[in-house]
Amino acid sequence: MSRYVIGRIGQAALVLWAAFTVSFILLQALPGDAILIKFLNFELGLGPEQIADIRASYGADSPLLVQYVHTVISFLTGNYGYSIHAGVPVGDLILANLPQTLWLATLGFLLSLVLAITLAALSALSPFSWLRSLIQSIPALFISTPVFWLGILLIQVFSFQLKLIPIINPGPWQALILPVLTLAVPISAPLAQILMRNIDHVLTEPFVAVARAKGASHRWVLWKHVAKNAVLPTLTIAGILFGELLAGAVVTEAVFGLNGLGGLTQRSVNDQDIAVLQAIVVFSAAAFVLINLTVDLLYPVFDPRLRVKQGAVA
């Protein structure tokens, strides 16, 4: 078991390094750079020599390999550099934006789970087939709803018309209600779809027939036998959906004017603020790796068969 864990951690480190290197190369390959965008655009009318000075002072004109080694060493020592655009250390920027995104992502994910399970349960329990197919088509509607549109619609209705939740100066929890809802709707769709399909699939398995033959009720079968078996593939998808969460956060945070990693990513891409982007890429890769590692380690908990296999190998 411990060898398995160490192996997984080694893999994770490799993924992180690869993400770092690939993003470094890609970001360097972009036309222009943050210094050019910032200093040439609309603020300070600087001459070419001054811009060259600034570039030299940021070390932006040293050879790529030197910059790469320098960045790797700084990252390893916890120094993420300065944001050229915002004029503050990248570490501060990430710290200022992380909590909001974590709350948004966690609550958004939990709500999407609740939505997905509710939909799946409703569909499995529905007594009529027309109702069932109606419920089963909801995920398709959810996933095709544009996030920005949903966000603006919710703001218009709940904040501006019904005046239930202020969008400007809301309390810490009020601030999360609408964005979490906005984020959860599209994320819940694939979860619900997979859950529904799995439930349908598991219901056709022989052991369900056996349980039924023993006189178990539909509800009992669903809860005791089907749910457990249907949840496993959903877990895999859930790990992958983390990426969606981050992408959804970009739009959600822009619409609701929240500070968060999504909004920060969008601004930094616009301004080619490479130091910030590099830190975000590494951070997201780390989070992704961590979540998938957790999912992998959770499998044996849900599926005894995997536990036995692990034992046999180790």
Partner 1 sequence: MFITRCFRKRAGPAALLGATLLAGTSGWGAVQAAGSDVQQKPVQGGTLTYLEQQAHTNLYPPAGGFYPNGGILNQITDKLTYQNPQTLEIEPWIAESWTVNADATEYTFKIRKGVTFSDGTPLDAAAVAKNYDTFGRGNKDLKLPVSEVINNYDRSEVIDSQTVKFIFKKPSPGFLQGTSVIGSGLVSLKTLALPYEALGDATKIIGSGPFVVASETLGRELTLKVRADYNWGPAKLEHQGRAYLDEIKYIVTPEDSVRIGALVAGQSDVIRQIQAYDEKQVEDEGYLIYAPSTRGVNNSVVFRPDNPLVADVRVRRALLHATNADEIVSTLFSDNYPKATSVIAKTALGYVNLSPKLSYDIEKAKTLLDEAGWKLGANGRRQKDGQTLELSAYESLPQPQNKETLQLVAQQWEKIGVKLNVLTADSGSAVVNNLDPAKAPVSPAMVGRADPDVIKSQYYPTNRNVLLQKGGNSDKVQSFVDERLNALLDQLASEPDRTKRLAVAGEVQNYVVDQAYAIPIFEEPQAFAAAPYVKGVSFEAVGRPSFYNTWLAPRR
Query: Where along the sequence are the contacts to partner 1 (CB under 8 A)?
Result: 30-33, 36-48, 50-51, 53-54, 57-58, 82-89, 92-93, 96-97, 152-153, 155-157, 159-161, 163, 166-169, 254-259, 263-264, 267, 269-272
Q: Rank residues 10 and 99 by Cβ distance to partner 1 and give the closer one.
A: 99
Q: Rank residues 77 and 169 by Cβ distance to partner 1 and give the closer one.
A: 169
Whether the CB-CB separation of 252 and 69 falls below 8 Å is answered with: no
Q: Residue 160 CB, nearest distance to partner 1 (Å)?
A: 4
DSSP bridge partners of 82: 89
Q: What is the CA radius of gyration of the chain?
A: 24
Q: Residue 58 CB, nearest distance to partner 1 (Å)?
A: 8
Q: Would you put residue 215 in left (φ > 0), alpha (ψ -120 to 50) or beta?
A: left
Burial of 221 (0-12, 13-18, 19+ CB in 10 A): buried
Q: Rank residues 96 and 232 by Cβ distance to partner 1 and give the closer one.
A: 96
Q: Rank residues 41 and 204 by Cβ distance to partner 1 and give the closer one.
A: 41
Q: Rank residues 92 and 205 by Cβ distance to partner 1 and give the closer one.
A: 92
Q: Residue 77 CB, nearest distance to partner 1 (Å)?
A: 18
Q: Residue 62 CB, nearest distance to partner 1 (Å)?
A: 16
Whether the CB-CB separation of 95 and 106 falls below 8 Å is answered with: no
Q: CA-to-CA distance for 226 and 142, rounded, in angstroms?
A: 25
Q: Rank residues 167 and 192 by Cβ distance to partner 1 and give the closer one.
A: 167
In the chain, what's the furthest Cα-to-Cα distance? Answer: 86
Q: Residue 36 CB, nearest distance to partner 1 (Å)?
A: 5
Burial of 268 (0-12, 13-18, 19+ CB in 10 A): buried
H helix intervals, 34-173: 34-40, 48-57, 64-76, 90-125, 129-136, 138-143, 147-154
Q: Residue 256 CB, nearest distance to partner 1 (Å)?
A: 8
